[in-house]
Structure 1
């Protein structure tokens, strides 16, 4: 059976993992203040938080734990692209107002634009994004503020770590695919599985690729195993 490899930014005990990215969480207090947000009256400046990544939420939570002046963000309702992130927010006592139906950034933007009319949202985001969500919200005249909460940095790997031909590779973020390609290029015998449409959208045209039916890592792994059992 074909080897299955998760291409990620952290190890997964359930499957062979190739770590290609390092996640750097940023200190964001200054960036928030630079957006003219008064921390003593946060609700007057921000009445919605937007998350398209668990890493952005991790950055906010880490900053809150280090600086109690940011505690007011817990009371601001969040618009979240996936149920996995929503569960993490609820677990930490945050309010979730909306969970996206579409796992693609462009679809998510279409869903939340009508809900954010006359609102003052803050988008906590990666240094580099591929979905164009910010541009779509600004084009829709949403009064969007943005703070860069984290970045993905490519790890340069030894070529000996390159997965064997015919492997099934699972990608859970666009940055993971781009980092993998930077390290190893692409073998035409690989099959790729994307956790969602945003990740799928960055694959090159010659990549044999599928989108996981459910947008979480466990489902990606099960889908990959099912695919491996059917392929020669």
Structure 2
């Protein structure tokens, strides 16, 4: 039974499916009413489809028919201990289970004078864009918003803003083509970082969308005193900037494993480094992929 295919029509934002554990789990960073609404939507839908499932204590949803025997619990405990021992590194301050942090940059918001009523829609390609624009004004919340991924969409909903679209492609150029039919003939504003790597703006403007862009945040490099990492480390790169900053500080060791959050970031590695691409564009998916690698 292909669970992923079954749940795709639900367009879930807060819940993700882990194929390995046959479990739907939610992002614990967003404990709000929207998670509860999505939980009820999932369970109602599965019940109507006559699909067997069970709800665990943490409100994750398991599809495995196997019961939780003592042996299985013991195996889970051993796996947890094994995962805790691994040297998995995130190059930012975001906390994700089983990962250690090496913050190589911080985010600086850039104050701008924006009249949001001039636009039919807003486009966000990261959570930082959402946080930055909300520090400027709350007026943006009234304008229809288009998010590149579920991660960005969750934050937009948390602000009770007008989320109308969450992308499935999750990569800059592909996202531009994905939203083209929705935005043709409209005037839109892309709220972005100082440095961008996709051809996103040109794609929209060349295809009947009037797209303006405003820089609302930038990354600032943080120098590190630590210059080496343990052998066999698994390092997660969440943007082209993290690739650039990492190689300013560290030398690559052949025992390391690089995990890239997506295809765009993967293009920025040196030729001698072949990254493994995460299944989804989220930090948790990156950590999950690192845990899979032997």
Specify the alignment match of 1:218 in structure 2: 284
* 2:259 aligns with one of 190, 193, 196: 193
Residue 186 of structure 2 corresponds to residue 119 of structure 1: yes
Structure 2: distance between partners of 1:149 and 1:80: 16
Structure 2 residue ranges without an equivalent (≥5): 1-84
| Rg (Cα) greater in structure | 2
Structure 1 residue ranges without an equivalent (≥5): 33-38, 65-70
Q: Residue 113 of structure 1: SS of its match in structure 2?
A: helix
Residue 123 of structure 2 corresponds to residue 50 of structure 1: yes
Q: Deviations over 1:7-27 (max 9, x none)?
A: 22x142632111101110111
Residue 135 of structure 2 corresponds to residue 62 of structure 1: yes
Specify the alignment match of 1:176 in structure 2: 242
- Matched residue pairs, number? 209
Alpha carbons of 1:48 and 1:207: their partners in 2 closer, same or farther (altered >3 Å)?
same
Q: Counterparts of 1:1-232 in structure 2 under 5 Å?
A: 3-8=87-92, 10-12=93-95, 14=97, 15-29=99-113, 32=114, 39=115, 42-43=116-117, 45-64=118-137, 71-158=138-225, 160-227=226-293, 230=294
Displacement of 1:72 in angstroms is 2.8
Structure 2: distance between partners of 1:134 and 1:28: 19
CA RMSD of aligned residues (A): 1.7
Q: Would the aligned equivalents of 2:108 and 2:220 in 1 still touch at CA under 8 Å?
A: yes
Q: Would the aligned equivalents of 1:103 and 1:197 in 2 still touch at CA under 8 Å?
A: no
Higher RCO (CA 8 Å, separation ≥ 6 residues): 1
Displacement of 1:82 in angstroms is 0.6
TM-score (ref. length: structure 2): 0.67
Q: Would the aligned equivalents of 1:173 and 1:199 in 2 still touch at CA under 8 Å?
A: yes
Specify the alignment match of 2:3 in structure 1: none
Specify the alignment match of 1:68 in structure 2: none
